[in-house]
């Protein structure tokens, strides 16, 4: 498989604030790649570097084999983009905007356009000014999905969509994958990422802190072990590889990846009840996000 997107050590600052701080990202052809991260992590900035709208201060970027900053117009004919907050020309109707953007892209496909408008239940005769947030988002989605593009770049594309429309969106992404298109999907919605993405990169404070398949990411994190013991546990601090230990009388909760040692030690106190829970994506999310001091990291990095 070839890599459609390759970012290496991208650094981008706005004044004193460092939005991207040595970001690495690789997206292979044919995969749906999720971009997860808290607000302000740098997801949109990453995407704007990929689109050639921002010039990275340092690092190398390749999109479809070209540097997006210098070769921008050519590569942009081969990709389609939906921003998280689609804004439209207030006096044009939704249908006019979709046609105009398709013509700018090249390769207008009437049948495909009409089918998508139907599926997203969009009224193309309304002036953009009167569209709700969700309807504007639909215009953006129809515009991007109705043209031929090898790479779809979607920045929180479902914000404002109702659950039914979100379902339609998920179908569209699956179809795109089956057609062999590559998708970059930035999102806050875990179920969406879990269902759609082959691989996920987690962004925090301008860096990709982890990347891999869902299974791989789960492996990185720790499993939550909860137990009621017959005797009060002591001397646990000599154990390595355990975290977040809370002891409440005979109750203990901890997270670990070292089952052998932990179980042996716990058994020595007598186990009455035991639950072992694999991490959900939520836990993962919290694990990466909750390392608070996002802002401090950023300040420290630029000081």
Partner 1 sequence: MLGLTLRRERLHGSAWYLLSGLLLLVVAAGIVSTYPTVADREALAASVNASAGELFMIGPVSSTDVGGIGLWRMLGIATIFISLASVLTMVRNTRAPEESGTSEMLGTAAVGRAAPLAAALGVTTAGSLGAGIVVGAGFLGIGASATGSLLVGAQITMFGLLAAALAALTGQIVQTARGATGIAVAFVAAFFLLRGAGDAIGGNAYWLSPFGWIAAVRPFADNNAVMLLPALALTIALAAVALWIASRRDLGAGLLPERVGPAHASAALRGPTSLALRTSRGAMIGWAAGALVVGLLIGGVSSTVDDQIDLALGSSAGSGSGLIQVALYLSPLFAAILGILTTLRLRGEVTSGRAEAVLSRPVPRSRWLLAHAITGTLAGLGLLFALGLGIAVAQLGSDAGSFGVLAISGALRAPAAWVFIALTTLLLATVPRAASAIAFIVIGAFQALEFAVEFRIIPHEALYASPFALVPQLPDGDPHPWQAVLLILIAAALTTIATRAIRHRDID
Ligand X SMILES: Nc1ncnc2c1ncn2[C@@H]1O[C@H](COP(=O)(O)OP(=O)(O)OP(=O)(O)O)[C@@H](O)[C@H]1O
Total H helices, total E strands in the chain: 11, 13
Question: Is the Cβ of residue 92 or residue 281 nearer to partner 1 in the bound state?
Answer: 92
Question: Is the Cβ of residue 129 or residue 244 nearer to partner 1 in the bound state?
Answer: 129
Which listed residue (11, 17, 209, 239) binds ligand X by CB under 6 A? 17
Residues 40 to 99: which contact ligand X by CB under 6 A? 40-45
> Pick from partner 1, Mg ion, ligand X, none: which does 267 bind, CB < 5 to 8 A by kind?
none
The answer to the question of residue 127 lying near partner 1 (CB under 8 A) is: yes
* 31-39, 48-56, 212-220, 242-250 -> range binding partner 1 (CB under 8 A): 48-56
Which listed residue (2, 104, 264, 278) binds partner 1 by CB under 8 A? 104
Task: Of 103, 106, 101, 63, give the one whose Cα is nearest residue 83.
Answer: 101
How many residues belong to the site for ligand X (CB under 6 A)? 11
- Cα–Cα distance between 61 and 95 in angstroms, integer? 34
Place of tokens 């987690």: 202
Place of tokens 């689109």: 51
The answer to the question of residue 18 lying near partner 1 (CB under 8 A) is: no
Task: Of 223, 216, 227, 229, give the one whose Cα is nearest residue 242.
Answer: 223
The answer to the question of residue 181 lying near partner 1 (CB under 8 A) is: no
- Cα–Cα distance between 104 and 170 in angstroms, integer? 26
> Pick from Mg ion, partner 1, ligand X, none: which does 39 bind, CB < 5 to 8 A by kind?
ligand X
The answer to the question of residue 42 lying near partner 1 (CB under 8 A) is: no
The answer to the question of residue 183 lying near ligand X (CB under 6 A) is: no
- In a 10 Å sphere around its CB, with 0-12 CB exposed, 13-18 middle and 19+ buried, how is residue 66 labelled? middle
The answer to the question of residue 105 lying near partner 1 (CB under 8 A) is: yes
- Cα–Cα distance between 206 and 172 in angstroms, integer? 29
Q: How far is it between the farthest Cα atoms of the chain? A: 74
The answer to the question of residue 37 lying near ligand X (CB under 6 A) is: yes
């Amino acid at each position: 498989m070839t890599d459609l997107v390759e970012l290496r050590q991208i650094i981008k600052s706005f004044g004193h604030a460092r939005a991207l701080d040595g970001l690495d990202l690789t997206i292979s052809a044919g995969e749906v790649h999720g971009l997860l991260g808290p607000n302000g992590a740098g997801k949109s900035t990453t995407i704007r570097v990929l689109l050639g709208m921002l010039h990275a201060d340092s690092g190398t970027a390749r999109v479809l084999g070209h540097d997006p900053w210098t070769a921008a117009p050519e590569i942009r004919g081969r990709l389609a983009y939906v921003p998280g907050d689609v804004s439209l020309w207030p006096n044009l109707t939704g249908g006019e905007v979709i046609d105009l953007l398709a013509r700018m892209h090249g390769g207008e496909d009437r049948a495909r356009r009409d089918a998508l408008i139907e599926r997203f239940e969009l009224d193309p005769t309304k002036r953009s000014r009167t569209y709700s947030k969700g309807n504007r988002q639909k215009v953006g989605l129809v515009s991007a999905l109705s043209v031929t593009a090898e790479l779809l770049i979607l920045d929180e594309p479902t914000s404002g969509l109702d659950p039914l429309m979100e379902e339609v969106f998920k179908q569209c992404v699956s179809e795109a994958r089956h057609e062999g298109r590559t998708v970059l999907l930035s999102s806050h919605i875990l179920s969406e990422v879990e269902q759609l993405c082959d691989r996920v990169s987690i962004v925090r404070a301008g860096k990709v802190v982890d990347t891999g398949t869902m299974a791989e990411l789960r492996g990185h994190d720790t499993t939550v072990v909860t137990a009621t013991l017959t005797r009060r546990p002591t001397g646990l601090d000599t154990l390595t590889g355990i975290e977040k230990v809370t002891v409440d009388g005979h109750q203990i909760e901890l997270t670990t990846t070292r089952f052998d040692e932990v179980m042996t030690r716990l058994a020595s106190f007598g186990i009455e009840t035991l639950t072992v829970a694999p991490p959900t994506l939520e836990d993962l999310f919290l694990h990466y996000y909750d390392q608070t001091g996002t802002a401090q990291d950023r300040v420290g990095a630029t000081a």
